[in-house]
């Protein structure tokens, strides 16, 4: 994959001969739609608006479940009620919102009750609409049906030795890069326009970050290609070649662990077969300067700062579970490696005190959750103590990484999955029906499988998202409040200006999903920053370069002497994740840590019968035998997806995984 830095994919089952009854899929377009809604309490002035009535009919048809504008567009299209198209800048989404706004204004003018019940979902940008109770007038809506989703079409890559090919994708188009040869240089160079040189102050007047991973100026790269064409004597062509999709095949690419990965453990698949099939992909990325005032360069990372580990959980010489962990490092690889080396032993020490058969007891879950949070806090304090000692004892010429990491733990214990999440890496639990005998019939040829998997998906491989962890981002209100109360502030990630947030307006209503729209692109930094050991003479001599490079910086060595200007803004570290392990700069005061390492802990039952060689869930929402797949990834995957919301990203991943599993099993 071209965007993932490190991710897990694992299957918690093995194929069996268990058969399930085929289920006929019913589309909503086959069912009659009542657009009159005569039994609802709707004023005649509103009934006169046919578009409004069709939206109300859509909501009622789907059981009056709350939908946002995007979902309403898809649902209305599925029922063929309105011809929603993009016309003169008006998007289908804005058309739906306009119809709703108009009808609400008419109701207000007539002093009628609001026809819609609106759930603002925190920031208000993802407002969801349902029919108000006053309009329903006691009428019970139909049974809720699944809201249709936009199809995600996967197209296989057809390799070609030529420099161009046809690809119907949606990625941004790029011109094929020409190859420069000195022999083709014209004798007379064309006059080229030079940009004015940037002042040195512009290059150091802000924090420099590495992990924003965004190319700030695509046009400058494109103009560079045009210059090469001119040097080659070629006229710039209008032919455009798009980037190739990197989903080529699903062959296993095996690389043995490197010498520094001496913590890799053997796995006993026989004693504990659950989650016995897994795959790992890891890739080093690049660093990009954040601001337009910096040079447009792409710096390869020296080390992959992401670390992973898979290990068995042993109690009384018996394997009772399995731990999958992923740590996304920033500022250096030290923190992520510390946690992958030390966490498994701590997890095993906790789990031996619990009987997996009793994890269904809520009191036992709460006690285990407390133990897990205490464990992570203890490990974090130990690592911060190591960094404080390194800072205090370092020589003037030494560089100490003041690094940190996110952390995901997925603990399989008996018939339960315990998800532990710190930061913005993500876990997605996916389920699918237990495959029928026809789905895995050996007579199916490879050719048939390849063509079918990209065009149609067998019902047995229709993946549904069961659970997804929440990314700890600065825009979450309950995290923003903690950051402000403990001495942090928010800055715009591009303009580098402070974002003012009224602490009194951040709600304390227990809604952990409430978002503050103004903080969508915010980064966190200490408000009154004083670098660790800043008073030392060594720190002053290099203008606090180590403090700058400690958290997400753009280079691996200090800047040139002419750029070492002691500007306060140049030295302030910043992060775009609201919870993390490590990161000493944000935890200088142990009593008031700007960024906490407190994890979210979630218990999920993945089987409701004693496991033999796989997990089967019978009493779930689908009332059928279900098997499970688990996807773990750093933000290297999700930051570069076309889908912006986490909910749609998770569904897109589930849709991609379905054909892959189908190809592998068939």
**Angle, nearest 10°, between helix axes 50-61 and 69-78?**
90
- Give the pTM: 0.59
Q: Give residue-wise pLDDT tens across range 307-335.
A: 999 999 998 889 989 999 999 998 888 99
Q: Give residue-wise pLDDT tens across range 58-109.
A: 999 999 998 888 889 888 888 888 877 765 556 788 889 889 999 999 999 8
CB proximity list for 627: less than 8 A, separation 6 or greater? 11, 12, 13, 431, 432, 433, 434, 614, 615, 616
Residues 92 and 12 occupy one common structural domain: no
* Residue-level pLDDT at 638: 87
- Domain with 80 in it: what CATH number? 1.10.10
Q: Give residue-wise pLDDT tens across range 266-281.
A: 888 888 888 888 888 8
Question: Residue for token digits 């997890």?
Answer: 347
- The mean per-residue pLDDT over the stretch 384-411 comes to 88
> Beta-strand (E) ranges in 459-516?
464-468, 488-492, 498-499
Helix or strand (DSSP H, E) at 628: strand 626-633
Residues 315 and 436 occupy one common structural domain: yes
State the residue range of the domain holding 270: 6-19+256-351+411-470+606-665
Residues 12 and 55 occupy one common structural domain: no
Among residues 136, 167, 198, the one where a domain terminates is: 136
Q: Would you call 626 helix, strand, or coil by DSSP?
A: strand
* Residue-level pLDDT at 20: 40
Residues 341 and 268 occupy one common structural domain: yes
Say how far apart CA 641 and CA 619 lie, in whole Å: 33
With vertex at residue 269, the alpha carbon angle to CA 263 and CA 273, rounded to the nearest 5 degrees, is 125
Say how far apart CA 112 and CA 108 lie, in whole Å: 6
* Residue-level pLDDT at 149: 66
In a domain, 558, yes or no: no
Burial annotation 102-127 (CB, 10 A radius, 16+ → b, else e): ebbebbeeeebeebbbeeebbbeebb
In a domain, 398, yes or no: no
In total, the chain counts a number of residues equal to: 666
* Residue-level pLDDT at 371: 96
Say how far apart CA 40 and CA 139 lie, in whole Å: 7
Among residues 107, 136, 165, the one where a domain terminates is: 136
Residues 11 and 123 occupy one common structural domain: no
CA dihedral in degrees (256, 262, 263, 264; nearest 10)?
A: 20
Residue percentage of the chain with pLDDT more than 90 = 26
* Residue-level pLDDT at 175: 47
Instruction: Decide which of 256 and 260 is more confident.
Output: 260
C-beta separation of 374 from 281 below 8 A: no
Q: Give residue-wise pLDDT tens across range 110-138.
A: 889 999 998 875 444 578 899 999 999 88
Closest CA to 629 of 441, 468, 454, 458: 468
> What DSSP letter does each residue of 418-468 carry, written as one string?
EEEEESS-EEEEEEEEPPPTTTT-TT--HHHHHHHHHH---GGG--EEEEE
Q: Would you call 479 helix, strand, or coil by DSSP?
A: helix
In a domain, 620, yes or no: yes
Residues 10 and 121 occupy one common structural domain: no
* Residue-level pLDDT at 492: 85
Write the DSSP symbol of residue 90.
B
- Residue 340, pLDDT above cutoff 90: yes
Residues 12 and 91 occupy one common structural domain: no
* Residue-level pLDDT at 618: 61
Q: Would you call 64 helix, strand, or coil by DSSP?
A: coil
C-beta separation of 407 from 583 below 8 A: no
Residues 13 and 78 occupy one common structural domain: no
Question: What does pLDDT average to over the chain?
Answer: 72
In a domain, 417, yes or no: yes
* Residue-level pLDDT at 243: 39
Phi, psi of 482 (to 5 degrees): -60, -40
Q: Three-state secondary structure along 334-360?
A: HHHHHHHHHHHHHHHHHHCCCCHHHCC
Instruction: Decide which of 543 and 480 is more confident.
Output: 480
- The mean per-residue pLDDT over the stretch 230-244 comes to 44
Residues 14 and 119 occupy one common structural domain: no
Say how far apart CA 295 and CA 365 lie, in whole Å: 52
In a domain, 111, yes or no: yes
Residues 346 and 282 occupy one common structural domain: yes
In a domain, 147, yes or no: no
Q: Give residue-wise pLDDT tens across range 533-583.
A: 444 444 444 443 333 333 443 333 444 444 444 443 446 788 889 999 999
CB proximity list for 302: less than 8 A, separation 6 or greater? 556
In a domain, 566, yes or no: no
Domain count across the chain: 2
In a domain, 128, yes or no: yes
* Residue-level pLDDT at 240: 44
> What DSSP letter does each residue of 211-277 carry, written as one string?
TT---S-HHHHHHHHHHHHHHTTPPPP---EEPPPS---------PPPTT-TT-----TTT--TT-E
With vertex at residue 376, the alpha carbon angle to CA 375 and CA 382, rounded to the nearest 5 degrees, is 90
Alpha helices in 137-241, H assignment, sequence order: 200-204, 218-231
Residues 611 and 654 occupy one common structural domain: yes
* Residue-level pLDDT at 349: 94
Among residues 136, 157, 185, the one where a domain terminates is: 136
Burial annotation 351-388 (CB, 10 A radius, 16+ → b, else e): beebebeebeeeeebeebbebbbebbeebbeebbeebe
Say how far apart CA 22 and CA 28 lie, in whole Å: 19
- Residue 352, pLDDT above cutoff 80: yes
* Residue-level pLDDT at 145: 85
**Out of 26-35, 78-87, 177-186, least confident range:** 177-186
Write the DSSP symbol of residue 535.
T
Say how far apart CA 182 and CA 284 lie, in whole Å: 32
Q: Give residue-wise pLDDT tens across range 431-479.
A: 888 877 655 544 444 444 444 444 555 777 888 899 999 999 998 888 9
Residues 73 and 112 occupy one common structural domain: yes
Of the pLDDT bands very low, low, confident and very high (cuts 50, 70, 90), residue 496 is confident
């Amino acid at each position: 994959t071209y965007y993932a830095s490190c991710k897990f994919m694992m299957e918690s089952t093995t194929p069996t001969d268990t058969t399930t009854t085929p289920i006929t899929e019913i589309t909503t377009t086959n069912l009659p739609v009542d657009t009159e809604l005569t039994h609802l309490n709707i004023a005649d002035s509103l009934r006169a608006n046919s578009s409004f009535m069709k939206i109300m009919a859509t909501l009622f048809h789907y059981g009056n479940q709350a939908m946002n504008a995007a979902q309403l567009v898809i649902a209305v299209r599925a029922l063929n009620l309105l011809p929603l198209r993009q016309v003169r800048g008006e998007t289908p989404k804005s058309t739906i919102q306009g119809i709703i706004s108009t009808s609400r204004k008419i109701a207000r003018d007539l002093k009628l009750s609001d026809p819609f019940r609106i759930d603002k979902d925190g920031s208000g940008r993802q407002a969801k609409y349902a029919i108000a109770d006053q309009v329903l007038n006691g009428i019970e809506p139909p049974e809720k049906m699944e809201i249709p989703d936009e199809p995600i079409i996967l197209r296989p890559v057809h390799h070609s030795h030529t420099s161009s090919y046809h690809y119907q994708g949606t990625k941004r188009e790029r011109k094929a890069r020409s190859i420069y040869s000195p022999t083709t240089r014209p004798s007379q160079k064309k006059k080229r326009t030079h940009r004015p040189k940037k002042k040195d102050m512009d290059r150091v007047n802000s924090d420099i970050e590495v992990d924003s991973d965004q190319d700030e100026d695509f046009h400058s790269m494109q103009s560079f290609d045009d210059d090469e064409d001119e040097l080659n004597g070629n006229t710039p062509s209008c032919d455009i070649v798009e980037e190739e999709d990197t989903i080529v095949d699903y062959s296993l690419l095996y690389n043995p662990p490197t010498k520094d990965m001496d913590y890799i453990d053997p796995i006993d698949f026989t004693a504990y077969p659950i989650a016995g099939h897994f795959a790992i992909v890891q890739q080093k990325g690049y660093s990009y300067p954040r601001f337009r005032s910096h040079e447009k360069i792409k710096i390869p990372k020296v080390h992959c700062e992401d670390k992973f580990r898979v290990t068995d959980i042993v109690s009384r010489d018996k394997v009772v579970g399995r731990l999958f962990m992923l740590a996304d490092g920033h500022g250096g690889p030290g923190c992520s490696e510390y946690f992958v080396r030390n966490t498994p032993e701590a997890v095993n020490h906790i789990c031996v005190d619990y009987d997996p058969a009793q994890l269904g007891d809520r009191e036992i879950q709460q006690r285990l959750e407390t133990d897990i949070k205490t464990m992570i806090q203890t490990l974090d304090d130990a690592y911060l103590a190591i960094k404080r000692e390194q800072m205090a004892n370092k020589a003037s010429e030494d560089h100490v990484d003041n690094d940190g990491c996110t952390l995901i733990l997925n603990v399989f214990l008996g018939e339960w999955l315990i998800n532990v999440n710190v930061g913005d890496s993500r876990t997605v639990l996916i389920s699918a029906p237990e495959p029928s005998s026809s789905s895995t019939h050996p007579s199916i040829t490879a050719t048939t499988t390849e063509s079918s998997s990209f065009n149609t998906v067998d019902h047995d491989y229709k993946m549904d998202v069961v659970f997804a962890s929440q990314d700890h981002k600065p825009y979450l209100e309950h995290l923003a409040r903690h950051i402000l109360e403990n001495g942090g502030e928010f800055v715009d990630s591009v303009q580098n200006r402070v974002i003012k947030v009224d602490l009194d307006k951040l709600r304390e209503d227990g809604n952990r999903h409430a978002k503050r729209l103004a903080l969508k692109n915010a980064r966190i930094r200490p408000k009154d920053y004083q670098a660790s050991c800043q008073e030392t003479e060594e720190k002053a001599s290099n203008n606090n370069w180590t403090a700058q490079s400690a958290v997400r910086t753009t280079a691996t060595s200090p800047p040139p002497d002419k750029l070492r200007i002691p500007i306060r803004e140049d030295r302030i570290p910043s992060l775009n994740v609201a919870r993390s392990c490590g990161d000493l700069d944000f935890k200088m005061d142990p009593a008031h840590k700007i960024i906490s390492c407190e994890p979210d802990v979630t218990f999920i039952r993945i089987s409701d019968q004693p496991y033999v060689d796989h997990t089967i869930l019978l009493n779930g929402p689908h009332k059928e035998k279900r098997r499970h797949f688990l996807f773990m990834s750093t933000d290297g995957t999700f930051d570069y997806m076309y889908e912006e919301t986490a909910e749609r990203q998770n569904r897109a991943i589930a849709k991609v995984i379905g054909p892959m599993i189908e190809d592998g099993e068939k």
